[in-house]
Amino acid sequence: MPVGKIIELVGTSSRGFEDAINEAVKRSSKTVKNVRGVDVVGQKAIVKDGRVVEYRVNLKLSFGVE
């Protein structure tokens, strides 16, 4: 029977929410094997001088445990 695990991560990007998600998955995949999916649980943007300068996503990353 397969076993899975979930960890919580924060991804950031100056380009957008989708890029923040992709960066979090890309970086975590370097050390976490068998990544199966993500669940985005929150999104935030940092604003400076009336302009969005950083996009942040809180996500849960699921992966299989060997």
Q: What is the CATH number of the domain that holds 58?
A: 3.30.1660.10
Overall domain count for the chain: 1
pLDDT of residue 66: 82
Q: What is the pLDDT of residue 2?
A: 84
* Position 6, amino acid: I
Residue-range definition of the domain harbouring residue 22: 3-65
Name the token pair of 25: 């998955």
Q: How confident is the model at residue 1 (pLDDT cuts 50, 70, 90)?
A: confident
Using one digit for the tens of pLDDT, what is the confidence trace for 12-66?
Answer: 999 999 999 999 999 999 999 999 999 999 999 999 999 999 999 999 999 999 8
Q: Which residues contact 61 (CB under 8 A, 6 or more apart)?
A: 6, 7, 8, 9, 24, 25, 28, 32, 35, 37, 38
Cβ neighbours of residue 37 closer than 8 Å, sequence gap 6 or more: 61, 62
Using DSSP, state whether 57 is helix, strand or coil: strand
Span 35-46, pLDDT tens digits:
999 999 999 999
